[in-house]
Amino acid sequence: MTRALFIAGTDTGIGKTHAACTLLHAIRSTGRSACGMKPIASGCEETSEGLRNDDALALQDASSAPQPSYNEINPVALREPLSPHLAASHEGVTITLSLVHAAFDVLRKRYDVVVVEGVGGWRVPLAPDLFAADIAKTLALPVVLVVGLRLGCLSHALLTAEAIEADGCKLVGWIGNRIDPQMLAIEENIDTLRGLLPAPCLGILPHGLSPEQASDLLDGAVLGA
């Protein structure tokens, strides 16, 4: 059976895409085909081929061949680098999840594993009464939480984990991403997260390594054989 998971983050700019691409390489190293998906992306640039987002392009590049089309990876592309509900409002559109579900259904039939990256943090609004969390909820995806390792990450991580479980989603693991190479007491903070988060650590990503280089540091078997 095709498996899939949702990549959530403790905040914006903490390396969800980096972790998702690294996990894609780790899963592929187990012999399974895998593709990334960025259902909703703001901050897209106009190109000769249409709107393109750097995160979605990175996920496409990290996917198994034959790689999915861009529109399958990123069905909802927005121009302004704002919270999605604001970017959509400025373009005169309202985000719904119908395009997301349709693209996901195509990908899950084609690949062994689909890694779906969220947008912003768990509670980022997409539209009235619609949040980033609803992508994971409506697709019934298990969640991997990316923790940006910097001052303040402990509270952010614990609050996000609580919100994930309160929303009825299953947190299956977390990944630490060293976005601040100068963070003090890094090992003590990691040990604290290991002790307090209600899911196993799937790995710690060093600062400065590419996803392919760092892939052997993650547990690519998180989804099972």
What residues are annotated to the active site? 38
Strand partners, 131: 125
Q: Which two tokens stand for residue 93?
A: 């559109």
Strand partners, 146: 9, 175
Contact 107, 70 (CB under 8 A): no
Q: 3-class DSSP state for residue 42?
A: coil
Contact 25, 212 (CB under 8 A): yes
DSSP string for residues in 126-186: EETTEETHHHHHHHT--EEEEEE-STTHHHHHHHHHHHHHHTT--EEEEEEE---TT-TTH
**Edge-to-edge order in the sheet of strand 3-9:** 34-37, 113-117, 3-9, 143-148, 171-177, 201-205
Amino acid identity, position 110: R
